[in-house]
């Protein structure tokens, strides 16, 4: 794979027929090191955010040895890339075959559940193994997250103590977990969920060995500038100290977006302009699913072989390459007003749920790959959080 100093160097080097997923390995390494050095517990990478081989390898190389998996293919992926890694099968609802294969073929000993039926399924398919770590997932609010994950998984508070007690009887280690939603913007969300978990543990009247605060750690996007990541870790640390759990209880987290979002962007080509509409060669069926279907705003900039445009910014609608009319990114998508056919646009911060969601609908979905050495559009892992300052640095760097 070729490496370039900046995406502009890539655009200047050759014609790009397909969209290019641009990787920034140092961004991945920096995020991984930050969590390893600052989170006071075990860090499990949520594989679903980006299951690329290079991501799994890169995280492993920087110290990640624990992975949160949600399916048999994810288990097989981690086992193939990192044979000595630990895995936690944290999907609350699993097929019987996947449980059995995870336990007997891949050595998985950690399983999540949110019902008595799932508990019995796990016990039956592991032949009532005595070395299980069982984690009860609880339902919590997603009031401070941009993507709510409430409603699908998690035992209700009224039923939680009974399920925790029943699970304790069969677990070598017992854990509780929750997910406060994706792209959480307020550290207090973790504290509120942890204290609610503590109340349910007290009502259950049993000891708990693990508290798993899940994911939800945020990144910087246009219109979303969360507090520094350290504030989230501080809130979790202080809440854990107040929880009524064993003194030697373990603390886990499952970052996905926060580890990988900064590490990839996608370069698309403008194939046609119609007034304020740009037709590009990737869209909602590709890396830009969230931009189209969740109205998620991603940073973007024009890449032109002749240099950076000095034109003022204008708002454009972007249309993806398929024949489907919902393949639309309505905006605001701010680009120089003189953007034209043949220009390229880099859309940043798509390392999480970008290429992982891409399909080949309508014959599209073929990507090229390259590495670059420049900074991401913005970062949560500097001395301060500043998307605007980071963007200014990048524009200066591109102009060199």
Q: What's the pLDDT tens digit per position in 228-267?
A: 999 999 999 999 999 988 789 999 999 999 999 999 999 9
Give 96: exposed, middle or buried? Use CB within 10 Å, 0-12, 13-18, 19+.
exposed
| For residues 141-166, average pLDDT | 84
CATH 2.40.37.10-classified regions of the chain: 3-22+262-398
Distance CA 86, CA 68 (A): 9
Provide the CATH topology of domain 26-260.
TIM Barrel (3.20.20)
Neighbour count for residue 323 (Cβ, 10 Å):
10
Q: For residue 399, is pLDDT > 90? A: no
Q: Residue 253 forms beta bridges with which residues?
A: 43
Distance CA 232, CA 188 (A): 8
Percent of the chain with pLDDT over 90: 83
Arithmetic mean of pLDDT over the chain: 92
Q: What's the pLDDT tens digit per position in 11-45?
A: 999 899 999 999 999 999 999 999 999 999 999 99
| For residues 259-277, average pLDDT | 97
Q: How far apart are the first and last CA of the chain?
A: 24
Give 400: exposed, middle or buried? Use CB within 10 Å, 0-12, 13-18, 19+.
exposed
Confidence of residue 383 (pLDDT cuts 50, 70, 90): low
Q: Do the Cβ atoms of 254 and 12 come closer than 8 Å?
A: no
CATH 3.20.20.10-classified regions of the chain: 26-260
Confidence of residue 330 (pLDDT cuts 50, 70, 90): confident
Predicted pLDDT at 247? 83
Structural element, H or E, at residue 110? strand 110-113
Provide the CATH topology of domain 3-22+262-398.
Lyase, Ornithine Decarboxylase; Chain A, domain 1 (2.40.37)
Q: What's the pLDDT tens digit per position in 61-116?
A: 999 999 999 999 999 999 999 999 999 999 999 999 999 999 999 999 999 999 99
Give the residue, 185 or 395, on which the prediction is more confident: 185
Window from 254-258, 291-295, 386-390 with minimum mean pLDDT: 386-390
Window from 120-129, 320-329, 379-388 with minimum mean pLDDT: 379-388
Torsion angle defined by CA atoms of residues 42, 128, 199 and 154, in that order, rounded to the nearest 10 degrees = 80
Confidence of residue 198 (pLDDT cuts 50, 70, 90): very high
Predicted pLDDT at 146? 72
Q: For residue 400, is pLDDT > 50? A: no
| For residues 142-152, average pLDDT | 73
């Amino acid at each position: 794979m070729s490496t370039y100093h900046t995406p502009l160097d890539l655009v200047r080097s050759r014609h790009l027929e397909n969209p290019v997923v641009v990787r920034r390995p140092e961004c991945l390494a920096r995020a991984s090191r930050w969590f390893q050095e600052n989170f006071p517990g075990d860090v499990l990478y949520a594989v679903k955010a980006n299951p690329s081989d290079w991501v799994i390898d890169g995280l492993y190389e920087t110290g990640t040895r624990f992975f949160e998996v949600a399916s048999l293919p994810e288990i097989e992926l981690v086992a193939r890339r990192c044979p000595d890694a630990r895995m936690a099968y944290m999907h609350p609802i699993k097929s019987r075959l996947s449980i059995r294969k995870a336990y007997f073929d891949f050595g998985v000993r950690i399983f999540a559940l949110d019902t008595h039926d799932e508990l019995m399924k796990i016990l039956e398919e592991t032949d009532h193994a005595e070395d299980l770590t069982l984690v009860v997932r609880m339902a919590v609010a997603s009031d401070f997250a941009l993507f709510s994950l409430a409603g699908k998984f998690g035992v209700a508070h009224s039923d939680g103590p009974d399920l925790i007690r029943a699970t304790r009887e069969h677990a070598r280690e017992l854990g509780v977990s929750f997910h406060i939603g994706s792209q959480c913007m307020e550290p207090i969300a973790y504290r509120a969920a942890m204290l609610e978990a503590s109340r349910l543990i007290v009502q259950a009247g049993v000891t708990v060995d693990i508290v798993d605060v899940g994911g939800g750690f945020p990144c910087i996007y246009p219109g979303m500038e969360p507090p520094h990541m350290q504030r989230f870790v501080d809130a979790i640390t202080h809440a854990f100290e107040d929880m009524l759990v064993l003194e030697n209880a373990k603390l886990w987290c499952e970052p996905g977006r926060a580890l990988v979002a900064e590490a990839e962007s996608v370069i698309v080509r403008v194939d046609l302009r119609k007034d304020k509409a740009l037709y590009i060669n990737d869209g909602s069926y590709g890396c830009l699913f969230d931009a189209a279907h969740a109205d998620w705003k991603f940073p973007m900039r024009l890449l032109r072989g002749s240099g950076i445009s000095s034109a003022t910014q204008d708002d454009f609608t972007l249309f993806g390459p398929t024949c489907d009319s919902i393949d639309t990114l309505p905006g605001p998508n701010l680009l120089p007003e003189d953007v034209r056919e043949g220009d390229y646009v880099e859309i940043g911060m798509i390392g999480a749920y970008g290429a992982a969601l891409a399909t080949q609908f309508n014959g599209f979905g073929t990507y090229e790959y390259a590495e670059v050495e420049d900074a991401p559009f913005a970062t949560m892992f500097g001395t301060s959080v500043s998307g605007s300052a980071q963007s200014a640095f990048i524009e200066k760097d591109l102009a060199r």
